[in-house]
């Protein structure tokens, strides 16, 4: 029954509507391994999509330590949980709920607990101060789920920045990197057993404002630039830069790369159509949430570090 429902979700998510063309002149980072943008090399890692070996090995070592923990953070194979916390703003919350449902329907690993801590209207700027109401709300959600901060071991973070939108590239990205760094330091402090933080960029925002609605601060090309922010943020840890190394913040790597050039298919045929974007263009429609959730779940279930948790 679970497999049938899971297949139904995937079928609905992959069904392509008939929509007007909506694209930019930009290319996804994943299709730029041999090209540049504004003088900067593309690809997810420097000029390649291939993760550097040393970084991958460190991540795999962290993955080996992902075991069910009880509420005190002590290993417990019988009653323990591996908490996977979704953080970011409203779009992450919306997609995350569908990811959680897919996991419930298709995954026999009941130790894995997906908790939605992402919050509507609260971008990365709400996450930089450890005493902010953002983190108080996250703690409340964790407690309500029957878990504790000590059981959170994996985080998926997808956010945006409504304050830096007027900045040009690459300054917009540099400004965001500082905010992500502060957020990651908070994560390290608040969740002492967090081993892995998976970072995703933003979904295509070419539909924002087309109907006179939607936050102009989050329209393109800010969503595209966000991918460069994540790329350079991860590279700082790979390079062992002070303030970004394995001691200062948790291990970080790419989550699913969400940006696609609108109705132009990427190399895997993935697109973002008008009916995938809901009213205002920033929040995914129900169909868009299912579609993106299928992409996210598939990524995690085949991920180098996390695949063993999804079976």
In sequence order, what DSSP letters do the residues of the chain get, joined into one string? -HHHHHHHHHHHHHPPP-------S---GGG-TT-EETTEE-SSBTTBSSPPHHHHHHHHHHHHT---B-TTS-B-TTT-BEEEEEEESHHHHHHHHHHHHHHHHH---TTEEEEE---TT--GGGTSSTTSHHHHHHHHHHHHTT--GGGEEEEEEE---SSSTTSPTTHHHHHHHHHHHHHHHHHHHH-TT--EEEEE-PPP-TTTTTTS-S-GGGSTTHHHHHHHHHHHHHHHHHTT-TTTSTTTS-EEEE-------TTS--TT-----TTTB-TTSSSB-HHHHHHHHHHHHHHHHT-TTTGGG--
What ranges do the domains of the chain cover? Answer: 2-309
- Whether residue 5 has pLDDT greater than 80: no
C-alpha to C-alpha distance for 34 and 226, rounded to whole angstroms: 20
pLDDT tier, 182 (very low <50, low <70, confident <90, very high otherwise): very high
Question: What tokens does 4 get?
Answer: 């049938």
pLDDT at 2: 45
pLDDT at 211: 72
Question: What tokens does 83 get?
Answer: 């908490």
pLDDT tier, 18 (very low <50, low <70, confident <90, very high otherwise): low
Q: Is the bond into 155 cis (omega within 30 degrees of 0)?
A: no
- Whether residue 12 has pLDDT greater than 60: no
Which of 108-112, 147-151, 208-212, 285-289 comes out lowest in average pLDDT? 208-212
CB count in 10 Å sphere of residue 134: 24
Percent of the chain with pLDDT over 70: 94
Spatial CA neighbour of 24 closest among 250, 225, 298 = 225
User: pLDDT by residue (tens digit) across 109-156?
Assistant: 999 999 999 999 999 999 999 999 999 999 999 999 999 999 999 999
For residue 280, the Cα-to-chain-centroid distance in whole angstroms is: 21
pLDDT at 15: 53
User: pLDDT by residue (tens digit) across 28-42?
Assistant: 999 998 899 999 999
Mean pLDDT for the chain overall: 93
Q: Under CATH, what is the fold of the domain 2-309?
A: Rossmann fold (3.40.50)
Average pLDDT over residues 198-216: 91
C-alpha to C-alpha distance for 141 and 118, rounded to whole angstroms: 10
Sheet holding 251-254, edge to edge: 112-116, 82-88, 152-158, 196-200, 251-254
pLDDT tier, 209 (very low <50, low <70, confident <90, very high otherwise): confident
């Amino acid at each position: 029954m679970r497999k049938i429902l899971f297949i139904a979700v995937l079928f609905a998510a992959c069904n392509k509507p008939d929509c007007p063309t909506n694209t930019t002149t930009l290319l996804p980072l994943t299709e730029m391994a041999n090209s540049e943008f504004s003088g900067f090399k593309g690809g997810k890692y420097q000029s390649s999509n291939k993760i550097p070996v040393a970084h991958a090995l460190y991540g795999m070592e962290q993955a080996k330590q992902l075991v069910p923990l009880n509420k005190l953070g002590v290993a417990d194979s019988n009653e323990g949980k591996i908490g996977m916390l979704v953080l970011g703003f409203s779009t992450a919350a919306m997609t995350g709920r569908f990811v959680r449902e897919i996991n419930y329907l298709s995954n026999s690993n009941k130790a894995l607990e997906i908790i939605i801590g992402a919050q509507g209207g609260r971008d990365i700027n709400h996450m930089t101060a450890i005493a902010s109401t953002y983190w108080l709300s996250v703690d409340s959600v964790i407690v309500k789920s029957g878990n504790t901060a000590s059981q959170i071991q994996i985080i998926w973070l997808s956010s945006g920045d409504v304050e830096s939108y007027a900045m040009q590239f690459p300054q917009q990205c540099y400004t965001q990197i500082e905010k992500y760094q502060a957020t990651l330091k908070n994560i390290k402090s608040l969740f002492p057993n967090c081993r892995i933080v998976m970072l995703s960029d933003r979904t295509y925002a070419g539909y924002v404002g087309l109907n006179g609605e939607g936050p102009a601060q989050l329209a393109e090309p800010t969503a595209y630039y966000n991918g460069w922010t994540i790329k350079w943020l991860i590279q700082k840890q790979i390079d062992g830069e002070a303030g970004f190394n394995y001691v200062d913040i948790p291990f970080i790597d790419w989550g699913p790369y969400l940006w696609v050039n609108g109705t132009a298919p990427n190399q895997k045929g993935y697109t973002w159509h008008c009916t995938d974007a809901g009213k205002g263009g920033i929040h995914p429609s129900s169909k868009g949430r299912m579609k993106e959730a299928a992409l996210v779940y598939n990524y995690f279930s085949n991920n180098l570090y996390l695949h063993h948790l999804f079976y």
